[in-house]
Amino acid sequence: MTAVISRRTRGATLGAIVRSELIKIRSMRSTWVGLVALLGVATLVTTLSSTKVAGVATPDVFAGWILTVFQVGLLLTTAFFAVQTASEWSTGMARTTFAAVPARGRWVAGRVIACALGGAVAALAVVAAVLGLGTLVHSAGAEALGPETYGLLWQAPLALGLMSGFSAALAVLVRNAWLAVGALFTLQFVLGIVSATLLTWFLQVMPYLPFDLAGTVLHASQAGADLAGAPGAGLAIVLLVAWAVGTAVVAAIVSRRRDGA
For residue 68, which of 85, 53, 46 has the smallest C-alpha distance?
46
pTM for the predicted model, two decimal places: 0.89
Mean pLDDT of the chain: 87
Residue 9: pLDDT band by 50, 70, 90 thresholds?
Answer: very low
In order of 208, 213, 225, 233, 244, the CA distances from 238 in angstroms are 11, 10, 18, 9, 10
Residue 144: pLDDT band by 50, 70, 90 thresholds?
Answer: confident
Quote the pLDDT of residue 223: 67
Each residue of 201-256: pLDDT tens digit?
778 888 999 999 999 999 887 866 666 567 888 999 999 999 999 999 999 999 88
